[in-house]
């Protein structure tokens, strides 16, 4: 199915999405993107449906062709303090606040959002597979977060974040069991299955 450019008839509708909600380590990252009204790009899709190579290529295209784009990381301490849902929404709000053109309508991937200023918004389940601006935001959020995880991998290579990006893979959990946790781990998450005990 071909993705639609946007949901509303406003000139500056922004799509927003996040990446990294289910990870055990690293930030949750959101992006916001405003595309031209007549924008089309057949390659754009939900970032989870694309290879890393395609995402990296599309990131460059989106950033050169968007009217405005921005992203924001919300880090582990915030996630542990306000919980992952609130941190995800905060990341979206911060990314929207950084757009060089203020949006006059916001569409959000998923079904949870809090009003941002007095701008009207609409939550859309699987919005990253329906609207180009949300798909573009999903690609920017994912590529920006992946780059951050590859950077902190250098500091703690034993967790192999360059590969697993902080998600709860068997390998990541085995490393947590062996080496303990780092400053980048989310203490409020269940880092190991019940049968293992972790002294925090």
CATH of 13-153, one of 1.10.10.10, 3.90.1300.10, 3.30.420.10, 3.30.360.10: 3.30.420.10
In the chain, domain spans: 13-153
Task: Give the pLDDT score at 154.
Answer: 98
Answer whether 78's CB lies under 8 Å from 187's CB. no
Spatial separation of the C-alpha atoms in residues 75 and 49, rounded to whole Å:
26
- Mean pLDDT across the stretch 148-174? 97
More confident residue, 46 or 180: 180
Per residue in 76-101, pLDDT (tens digit) is 999 999 999 999 999 999 999 999 99
Task: Give the pLDDT score at 2.
Answer: 82
CA distances from 182 to 21, 51, 74, 138 (A): 18, 29, 17, 27
Task: Give the pLDDT score at 42.
Answer: 87
Checking if the pLDDT of 30 tops 90, the result is yes
Spatial separation of the C-alpha atoms in residues 189 and 96, rounded to whole Å:
27
Task: Give the pLDDT score at 196.
Answer: 53
């Amino acid at each position: 199915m071909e993705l639609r450019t946007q949901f509303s008839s406003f000139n500056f509708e922004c799509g927003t999405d996040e990446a990294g909600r289910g990870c055990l380590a690293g930030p949750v990252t959101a992006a916001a993107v405003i595309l031209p009204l007549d924008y089309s790009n057949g390659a754009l899709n939900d970032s989870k449906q694309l290879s890393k190579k395609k995402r990296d290529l599309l990131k460059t295209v989106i950033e050169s062709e968007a009217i405005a784009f921005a992203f924001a990381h919300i880090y582990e301490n915030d996630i542990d303090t306000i919980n992952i849902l609130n941190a995800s929404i905060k990341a979206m709000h911060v990314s929207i606040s950084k757009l060089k053109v203020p949006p006059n309508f916001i569409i959000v991937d998923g079904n949870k959002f809090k009003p941002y200023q007095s701008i009207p918004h609409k939550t859309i389940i699987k919005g990253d597979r329906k609207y180009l601006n949300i798909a573009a935001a999903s690609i920017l959020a994912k590529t920006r977060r992946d780059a951050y995880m590859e950077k902190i991998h250098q500091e703690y290579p034993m967790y192999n974040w360059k590969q697993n990006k902080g998600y709860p893979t068997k390998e990541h959990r085995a490393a947590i069991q062996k080496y303990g946790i780092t400053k980048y781990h989310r203490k409020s998450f269940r880092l190991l299955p019940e049968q293992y005990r972790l002294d925090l």
